[in-house]
Structure 1
Amino acid sequence: MKNNIIITATLLIFINITNMKAQDRSAIQQQKNMNNTDLATLRKNKVKTYFKKVDEGQFDEEYFNLYTDDVEIYYPKFGFEKGKNGITNFGKVMGAHLQSLSHDIDNFKYVISDHSIVVEGTERGITKSGKEWPDNKISYGKFCNVFEFEDEFIKRIHVYVDPDFTSEDVDRINIFKNPSLPINKESLKTTKEVIDEFFALQSGKKEGNILDLFSDHADWDLPGNKQKFPWTGKRQTKKEIEEFFEELYSNVKPEKFEIDFIAVNGENATATGYLSSKILKFNKIFTTEFVVIFKVVNGKIVKYHFLEDSYKLNEEMQSKAINVQ
């Protein structure tokens, strides 16, 4: 009888201990779930802060504190960048192309896992040239961002979006055009036609706006001493190219401009020639041969490199001449 009592008591103690351990495990799991929920909420709020800061153009301390020091960013056509300096470089590229950008944050769809948050949504904006997008006919403003976290900080941002915001990538549009929709074909000028029009507008033989021949973002370069000759240097946007022509014609009086020949190979073209100009600040005539390198994509100039004897220009313009006819 005594042995039975001992065995029963032992079993009760064992059962109680087992129940206590189970309760402890359940409490620990509940706490862990609560911690995970809190972390997921914190991360989601940081993602929202990211989009709000981008839309407002507020790249301040709070914005950069969203990231780890070795954060990685990827964007189509732009490629990869690392670190907070990389984030800054990416912002400069986008800032040079876009006047404004806004995301429909309230209607985002989120997929949240242990270390990542995927965001699907829509965006809209205005380019530096004043074009609004999307048009909801060819471009729809859809995007998907993948955020990877290290604790509460963003460690990786990979953006999946069509960077052709204003639907100027006509060749690709025609490839993927939905056959059930009406086709809207646009006649594109050839590389040679664009180059010929460029020189006709530049020389005054044809009326029009030469800026219309350029894409919104162009690789423009005219090497030279920019402090001495403000029309030289690199440019990217139409606004900067417009400023080139303003600087050029307020500092230089064209005397002679002749094209020897133009060679075209697909999107690429090269023009060679001879020019003579009066540099007004020095009241001197400068003559040189030149080469212009063009690239034309979808009827728009995306590359313009003007190469002249910039060393000769710098050396000859040392002091102001007394008389020049």
Structure 2
Amino acid sequence: MALTTQTMTDEQRKSVATEYLKAFDNGGVTSSGGSILDLFAEDAQVYFPKWGLATGKEQIGKMFGDVGGTLKSIVHHYSHFNWIFSGSDLVVCEGTSHGEHQDGPWRAGLPEWQAGRWCDVFEIRDWKIQRCFIYLDPDYAGKDTARYPWLAS
């Protein structure tokens, strides 16, 4: 990890996290036309369920390619976000989304148990994402129901 050189406010960290989410909605391209990877520190870590932990921009790029390659579209619902700030470099964002996976569409709340609700835990320092742990159900199209008795019927 690099030494901290710039003090950031919670709103500034929130703006970096928002730019990251908007880049996903825009196929991995930031509002300035750059790559989503530009938002990450060189030694950043990202966790995604069923993929694991990616360390460094090269592995993060592979993870985003693997996961993003299964998505036709995604839209985050920015007006419904809940933000939690720790008073340090940590920012938590809870939200909903809709879109289309290669296996079919999803929308948070339709049905209530299906994908679309998520929570991301960020560590943001010096205008770069140092860590982003993504918590969601990666079964976007809701196909994995047979293993859950309450969904099988």
Per-residue CA shift, 1:106-127, capped at 9, x if unaligned? 2210001211000001011101
How far apart are residue 62 of structure 1 and its match?
Answer: 5.3
Per-residue CA shift, 1:96-142, capped at 9, x if unaligned? 2111111101221000121100000101110124x111332430511
Select the residue among 68, 91, 95 that pairs with 1:117.
Answer: 91
- 1:153 maps to amino acid: K
SS in structure 2 at match of 1:121: strand
Task: Give the structure 2 partner of residue 164 of structure 1.
Answer: 139
Contact 2:115/2:137 (<8 A) preserved = no
SS in structure 1 at match of 2:21: helix
- 2:20 maps to amino acid: Y
- Aligned-pair Cα RMSD in Å: 2.0
How far apart are residue 157 of structure 1 and its match?
Answer: 0.5
Contact 2:115/2:136 (<8 A) preserved = no
Q: TM-score, normalised by structure 2?
A: 0.83
Distance 1:168 1:133 in 2: 11
Q: Which has the larger radius of gyration?
A: 1
Q: TM-score, normalised by structure 1?
A: 0.41
1:105 maps onto 2:105 in alignment: no
Higher relative contact order (CA 8 A, sep 6+): 2
Task: Give the structure 1 partner of residue 23 of structure 2.
Answer: 53
Contact 1:51/1:105 (<8 A) preserved = no
- 1:95 maps to amino acid: G
For structure 1, which runs of at least 5 residues remain unmatched after alignment?
1-34, 178-182, 186-325
Match runs of 1:187-202 below 5 Å: none
Per-residue CA shift, 1:29-86, capped at 9, x if unaligned? xxxxxx96x5222111011100100011133535322111001010111101111112
Return closer, same or farther for 1:62/1:77 CA change in 2, 3 Å cut-off.
Answer: closer
The alignment covers a number of residue pairs equal to 142
- 2:127 maps to amino acid: E
Per-residue CA shift, 1:241-290, capped at 9, x if unaligned? xxxxxxxxxxxxxxxxxxxxxxxxxxxxxxxxxxxxxxxxxxxxxxxxxx
Which structure has greater helix proportion? Answer: 1
